[in-house]
Structure 1
Amino acid sequence: MICTIFPFPVRYNFSRAWAGLVLKIAEVCCGIHYEVEGLEHIKSDNVAVVLSNHQSAWETLAFRCFLPPQTSLFKQSLLWIPFWGWAMATLKPIAIDRNNKHAALRKLISHGTEALNQGLWVIVFPEGTRMPVGEMQSFSVGGAMLAQKSGYPVIPIAHNAGQYWPRYSFLKYPGTIKVKIGPCIESKSRKAADINKEAEDWVMHAAREISQ
């Protein structure tokens, strides 16, 4: 929040440093490490929509550390959380009201396209909520529709963060979180449903491989 007076790149780099500090503390105090496979699919000079499974708070922090500058889609009420939510409001979030699905989709497409055009990656968790380890919910089509409307590609990501950093739990468990980044999924001249299905299938398959 103190960085509000500075340009966005300064605010963003401060948030990235804070996320890195939290992950380092988790490593030292809780024994939580992570490995990322598929970084060759991330091109710093390209921009994309990320579609990922959602199990934990870990990925909301870690993605800032190994992905290019980004913004995220999340529910508007999170911005009301004292200090943390207020700080997030300074980082160009795409905050939506889930009770109004049509307005939420319009905002995702308009604000998401604007962010992509500015060079920011857009992170979407299309399950809509954090899921227990071993379970996945069908992907909502919003992220894929953003890719189809904007013409930017999709990068699918799978992980098992919930195994060591469980949802809704204060307790953390030592181990190595596995992250798999998939190849680029082109969106031009394709239907959003087809893009969504390809991303969902890849993430589900990769998540099974990780769990095994």
Structure 2
Amino acid sequence: MTQQPTSSRRNLRVYLGSTFLFIYIVFSTLIVGILILSTAFLPFSVRYRISDYWICTLLFMLKICCGLTYEVQGLENIPVDGPAIILSKHQSAWETIALRQFISPQTAVLKKSLLQIPFGGWALATLKPIAIDRQNQKEALRMLIEQGTERLQEGFFVIVFPEGTRVAPGEYKKFNAGGAMLAQRSTYPVVPLAHNAGEFWPRNSFLKYPGVIKVKIGPKIETKGKKSKDINNEAEAWINQAMQEITSENP
């Protein structure tokens, strides 16, 4: 049975730890945002290293404050001879941060509105994100394919959340075709990724719960000569199966 946040898990440690983490995120984002913006004239690698350091410290604070860590299976499936498109399960804010720890260099597809957040969003805009307007689906798909291909050619892994939004554990949302279309047009391979972060860092929740997030990375899916629908179906099937395994392994 999938573990869900319940009142029995909401103890003093959870409230205090989540509060301390929130305070840290607010102040550290402001400081790091200003630092990244002040180095905008320097090479991109400098800004990327600064953001990497912030992610490392944030995950350390997540462990200290909330008792939340992670473990990864399938790291050997991350290509070492070139970048790929990572089609990832989307349950939480955790994966938008933590995947940088073991998939790098990377960029991600995100909402254009996030870049308007003072300091943090402005700094994010200097890190070569693929920012799309979800209200204009045709234009969003064009931007995803054009900018995604450019980033892949520059050597970046491209993180795509094909569900389009965070989906709570146990719920289902059909995969969008954007990531698979990028794979078809660019001919770069796809790597599927599953995790259960939403059980510990739920969507739209202030509270973070202690535990170990399980991450599974699947084998590379070659895309040359394949239709985007077939690529999407193959990745979705692997992720759904992996999610069932994660649930059965962690009752």
TM-score range, shorter chain: over 0.9
Range 42-51 or range 201-210, more displaced: 42-51
Name 2:136's counterpart in structure 1. 100
Name 1:194's counterpart in structure 2. 230
Name 1:145's counterpart in structure 2. 181
Among candidates 86, 91, 110, match of residue 55 of structure 1: 91
Name 1:14's counterpart in structure 2. 50
Amino-acid identity (%): 59
Q: Which amino acid is 2:65 matched to?
A: C
Normalised by the size of structure 2, how large is the TM-score?
A: 0.83
SS of the equivalent of 1:132 reads coil
Q: Which amino acid is 2:190 matched to?
A: V
The 5-angstrom pairing of residues 50-199 of structure 1 reads 50-199=86-235
- 5+ long unaligned stretches in structure 1: none
**Deviation readout 1:14-68 (Å, 9 max, x if unpaired):** 1111111101100011000100000001133321000011011100111111102
Which structure would you say has the larger Rg?
2
Cα contact 1:44–1:68 (8 A) shared by 2: no
SS of the equivalent of 1:187 reads coil
Q: Which amino acid is 1:79 matched to?
A: L
Normalised by the size of structure 1, how large is the TM-score?
A: 0.98
Q: Using the alignment, how far apart are the partners of 2:198 and 2:130 within structure 1?
A: 24
- The alignment covers a number of residue pairs equal to 212
Cα contact 1:53–1:136 (8 A) shared by 2: no
- 5+ long unaligned stretches in structure 2: 1-36
SS of the equivalent of 1:103 reads helix
Cα distance, 1:8 vs structure 2: 1.1
The 5-angstrom pairing of residues 24-63 of structure 1 reads 24-63=60-99
- What is the root-mean-square deviation in Å for CA atoms of aligned residues? 0.9
**Deviation readout 1:140-190 (Å, 9 max, x if unpaired):** 000000011001000000000011111111111000000000000000000
SS of the equivalent of 1:50 reads strand
Q: Using the alignment, how far apart are the partners of 2:111 and 2:222 within structure 1?
A: 27
**Deviation readout 1:44-95 (Å, 9 max, x if unpaired):** 3321000011011100111111102011101111111111111110100110
| Aligned CA distance change for structure 1 residues 181 and 61 (closer, same or farther; 3 Å) | same
Q: Which amino acid is 1:35 matched to?
A: E
SS of the equivalent of 1:5 reads coil
Name 2:41's counterpart in structure 1. 5
Deviation >2 Å, runs of 4+: none
Q: Using the alignment, how far apart are the partners of 1:10 and 1:44 within structure 2?
A: 22
SS of the equivalent of 2:40 reads helix
SS of the equivalent of 2:212 reads strand
Q: Using the alignment, how far apart are the partners of 1:166 and 1:203 within structure 2?
A: 19
Cα contact 1:136–1:204 (8 A) shared by 2: no
